[in-house]
A and B are shown apart, each in its own frame.
Chain A
Amino acid sequence: MDIILKQGIVYQVRAEITENPAIAESFATVEEFDKFVQERIDQRIKTLGLDNPWYSPQKIGFTMYKILILDFGNATFLTSDSGSSNVGDILLEKIPRTVLLFTTATIIISIIGIFLGALAGSKVGSVIDRITSMFAVVSSSFPVWWIGMLMIFLFAFVYHIFPARATPLILPTEPGYIIALLYHMALPLITIVMIGFGAWAYLVRNFMVGTLQEDFITAKKAIGIDKKKIIYKHALKNAAPPIVTILALSLSGSLGGAIITEAVFDWPGMGRLYFEAISVMDLPIIIGATYVLTVLFLISILVADLLYGYFDPRVKTE
């Protein structure tokens, strides 16, 4: 990082001098001229604090302060669609798009997964249970992006149902924008949901099987409480803590988007941004995106822990 900045300064100083030939003419010898150039470079490096090693407290403090106020500086290569190269602007532009696709998908996946898992878990060994487990196993070994390619091939080019590119062509200000956006979103959304819910259902099923074997469920059955009520009210609530943890983690994880899936569907969200930033080594963006995602990850762990206490009072300490 420092090296890149230093090189940039050297380049800037050289450019300034070549633009202004009067400076070069005012020196008698080449040595004097070189000395002058070097002095200007050193001066700038010093004012920017680049002469200190990276571990100097002043520099670390400054960097920390900048990160705290969410100032990640300017991106080296990439810009947002509106042309701004401020990392904050770029992130603010990409995050809503990723939320729109991946968070929606995660919510749909978890709803389908929880109900299917509860259903399968309550009837262990039934047809539904077997199909769910089988589907979970099979879908987990297919790469999502490959299914995406197949879906594009099938539904965009063989049968012209959905568009292949995932970004709408019309401008956000036009009236039909939302419908166009949903229409373009359909294919990636279907793909992600299709591959994702099997694993969820399988997880929920396993928790449910564990909970349904416990004594209080047997007691409730003996009393004669409605079976549906037992499953959805009592058993599901007791299986909730681990499910909530996973839900919180996958929701915050969904904000990062899926690098490869976004590449296949040409979805301009966080995953694409990450990949583009890495492939041109745009450090400010990589640092900024990683920082934001890590903070969100930590927040969601905190939220999950608090919810855990609400669902399972046993973990609360006096």
Chain B
Amino acid sequence: MSSVSSSEIKREFVKSKIGLIGVGILASLIILSMIAVITIPIDTFKQWNNPGSWISYPKTAVPAWVNYFTTEKIPEHLIMDKPTAITKDGIISLASHQFGIQYHYDDFPSDFIYEFNVEYSGSQLLQISVIRPDQSQILLLSRSLPHSDTKIVHHERIFSTDNSIKKNIQIHFSEMEFYNQNISSEDMIFADRDGKVLKGDYIFLVNIYGIDKKVSIIDSKLILGGKAYGMMGTDELRRDLAVGLLWGTPLALFIGISVAIGSVTAGLIYGVYSGFKGKKTDEAMMRFNDVIYALPALPFLIILAVTISNSIFLLVGFLMIFGWVGVAKVSRSMALQIKTRQYVEASQMMGQKNSKIVFKHIIPQLLPYAFASIAISVPAAITTEAGISFLGLGDPTFPTWGQILHDANTYGAAARGLWWWIAPPGIMIAITGLAFVFIGNALDAIVNPKLRK
């Protein structure tokens, strides 16, 4: 039990295949969470529950990589915010933004939105036109921006459902003698004569003309609505699931590891002290331990979350309260054995303080066991937190995997076949749990020679 030295553990651990797999998974999870923290600013993440910040994303879009496996290419949701800019000065000044699109999908886009910010004075004319792969140019919109004598910043969103766009398209296609009243503007733009999708390169031109006055486009964005987006797709509330999944990793690791370390440390000290003191102290402490042991953990956690607060830090604390009991029992029985060893008795004889004996002579002997139980108790903490979040009692400021699954359940993702909303969070929970179970089992096998053979 306690005769394993740390170098021996290391040597044995390197030999254990499962343990190494566990360490490997854990390392990649840590890298993943570092990527999350570095690449996705915390402000983006804090906006998770704010629908306003996800407005330019598609609704329940499948992950973009699905297109590699299907013959029918699902149109991808394109957000273009890096146009080629051309400016001309003169009597008539021109600021032009061009968006090139290679459209090779088998379905029409659901819509398009042009969003822009311009700074200007006087009267300006905005023209949007599109050049199609068959070299025909369609004027979509020609409209003047609101007049202003002073310099102002103007922000506008132009939707494909705009009436003047519809009218311009009607004019254009009526000349070519095919126009169908019932087809929407974006379908007309991307359709060939037979009504199928015309694949190829499209160029969207946005020109702003001014007389004598200069105009500058601060930023402009063309959003082509589609049904596929990003690495992980989006959910019903247009949120990019990749952001939630990535940020869930550091949170899950934080919850799991802090709960495990906290509860194992508390249990270890409690159990060892109880076993070392013995007699009435031991009896009283163990009865208290039994009381906590008999409490049903999950209902209590739910009651606490409902009545006190659903803050994630408090939840970590509550999980610690229910986590230390088992460790305390085992470490007490181990302490009872170690207590009878001669070196403990000798140091007692020499008049060393109790606290010093506990911390210097007994606890170091139990450390290998403690590490194994830390690793083993991490998955339980993560799944319990996920379960509580799944019931809708999680901390809304820190969306975890459990909360993504909660949203999926409330929006009936299983019934609607939105697999990319259900599967990844659960797989992440399971992988994280597995990493720690592997490490724990490998350590356990070393620390408890009984399980070997």
Residues of chain A touching chain B, judged by Cβ–Cβ distance below 8 Å, are: 124, 137-138, 140-143, 145-147, 149-150, 152-153, 156-158, 164, 206, 209-210, 213, 256, 259-260, 263-264, 274-275, 278-279, 281, 286, 290, 293-294, 297
Contacts and interface: CB of A to CB of B under 8 A. Distances in A.
11 contacts: A124-B453, A140-B433, A143-B426, A146-B386, A149-B408, A152-B415, A153-B417, A153-B419, A157-B417, A281-B307, A290-B296
B306 A140 contact: no
A259 B305 CA distance: 15
A149 B422 contact: yes
A210 B450 contact: yes
A235 to B, nearest CB: 16
B432 to A, nearest CB: 8
Nearest to B441: A137
Contact of A281 (B306, B417, B434, B453): B306
Nearest to B416: A157
B430 interface: yes
Contacts of B413: 153
Interface of B: 294, 296, 298-299, 302-303, 306-307, 379, 383, 386-387, 390-391, 405, 408-409, 413-417, 419, 422-423, 425-426, 429-430, 433-434, 437-438, 441, 450-451, 453
Contacts of B451: 206, 209
A275 B453 contact: no
Contacts of B379: 140-141
Given A149-B414, A149-B426, A143 B302 contact: no
Given A143-B383, A260-B391, A278 B299 contact: yes
A174 to B, nearest CB: 26
B417 A297 contact: no
Contacts of A146: 386, 405, 422, 425-426, 429-430
A158 B417 contact: yes
Contacts, number: 99
A245 to B, nearest CB: 14
A162 B388 CA distance: 27
Contacts of A294: 294
B426 A275 contact: no
Nearest to B425: A146
A164 B453 CA distance: 45
A145 B390 contact: yes
Nearest to B408: A149
Given A138-B434, A140-B379, A297-B294, A278 B426 contact: no
B450 to A, nearest CB: 7
A164 B412 CA distance: 11
A143 B386 contact: yes
Nearest 4 Cβ contacts at the A-B interface: A141-B433, A146-B426, A153-B414, A152-B414
B438 A137 contact: yes
Nearest to A263: B391
Nearest to B299: A274
Contacts of B416: 157
A42 to B, nearest CB: 30
Nearest to B451: A206
A256 B298 CA distance: 11
A210 B452 CA distance: 11
Given A143-B429, A164-B415, A264-B409, A293 B296 contact: yes
Nearest to A261: B387
Nearest to A280: B306
B426 A142 contact: yes
Contacts of B437: 137, 140-141
Contacts of A275: 302, 391
A125 B390 CA distance: 39
A138 B437 CA distance: 8
A147 B299 CA distance: 21
A260 B390 contact: yes
B430 A142 contact: yes
A260 B387 contact: yes
B423 A150 contact: yes
Contacts of A141: 379, 383, 429-430, 433-434, 437
Contacts of B386: 143, 146
Nearest to A158: B417
Contacts of A147: 426
B391 A157 contact: no
B349 to A, nearest CB: 36
B237 to A, nearest CB: 19
Given A140-B379, A259-B299, A153 B450 contact: no
Contacts of B307: 281
Nearest to B448: A206
Given A137-B438, A141-B434, A275-B391, A256 B306 contact: no
A120 B413 CA distance: 39
Contacts of B299: 259, 274, 278, 290
Contacts of B438: 137
Contacts of B294: 294, 297
Contact of B405 (A142, A149, A156, A274): A149
A264 B433 CA distance: 21
Contacts of A124: 453
A159 to B, nearest CB: 12
A299 to B, nearest CB: 13
A274 B300 CA distance: 11
A206 B452 CA distance: 10
Given A259-B298, A293-B296, A157 B306 contact: no
Given A158-B417, A278-B306, A286-B303, 10 more contacts: A146-B425, A146-B426, A156-B415, A164-B414, A206-B451, A210-B450, A213-B453, A260-B298, A264-B409, A278-B302
A153 B416 CA distance: 8
A153 B409 CA distance: 11
A214 to B, nearest CB: 13
Contacts of B453: 124, 209, 213
B339 to A, nearest CB: 25
Nearest to B440: A137
A259 B417 contact: no
A282 B426 CA distance: 32
A141 B25 CA distance: 14
Contacts of A142: 426, 429-430, 433
B393 to A, nearest CB: 8
A294 B296 CA distance: 9
B396 to A, nearest CB: 16
Contacts of A143: 383, 386-387, 390, 426, 429-430
